[in-house]
Amino acid sequence: MNNNVNIILIGPMGSGKSSVGKRLAQDLGYPFYDSDKEIEKSTGANIPLIFELEGEDGFRKREHEVIKQLCSKSNCVLATGGGSVVSEENRSLLRKSGIIIYLYASIEQILERTKRDRNRPLLQTSNPKQKLEEVMSKRAPLYQALAEYTIETDYHTVKEITDLILAKIKK
């Protein structure tokens, strides 16, 4: 693989970006960054609290600043927040910063993986499936257009997904 390249994971919440990203970074000997964790670290507040106090717009502004900072790094693995692709500025930064991999998961799998997670502000609703369908109808085309590779994550282990990514990026 060529030098100074980042591996950027995009996709919906619960698709495996953080778990796969950590493993991928370990296998490559790269540092791993999770944009949501970096936001929490810089603010001292968790994502639901930021949403509560600043709304989604406030959160997205913070997210953009963190993505801009992370995209300036080289030789790292970056897991982005599920909504980071909504911003054209973020998409542009990501496009220029590395190999983009879309981790695809079905709505059923996402619901199963996130059902006990209270750190998902967009799913704190009476009908999480409907909300997820609405979100994915807007974001899936953005993920697809941005990604160089798409990896389906339903029913695959972190190791299997990581091995698939490594095989693709080493070509």
3-state SS, residue 16: coil
β-strands 149-152, 98-104 pairing: parallel
pLDDT tens-digit series, residues 7-19: 999 999 889 999 9
pLDDT tens-digit series, residues 100-148: 999 999 999 988 888 776 666 666 777 888 988 999 999 999 999 999 9
Residue type (1 letter), 14 = G
Distance CA 148, CA 150 (A): 7
Residue 1 has pLDDT above 70, yes or no: no
Check residue 122 and give its pLDDT. 64
Check residue 121 and give its pLDDT. 62
Residue 162 has pLDDT above 60, yes or no: yes
pLDDT above 90 coverage of the chain, percent = 77
Residue 24 has pLDDT above 60, yes or no: yes
Residue 2 has pLDDT above 90, yes or no: no
Q: Domains plus CATH for the chain?
A: 6-155 (3.40.50.300)
The contacts of residue 94 (CB under 8 Å, 6+ apart) are: 8, 10, 67, 71, 80, 84, 85, 100, 146
Check residue 61 and give its pLDDT. 95
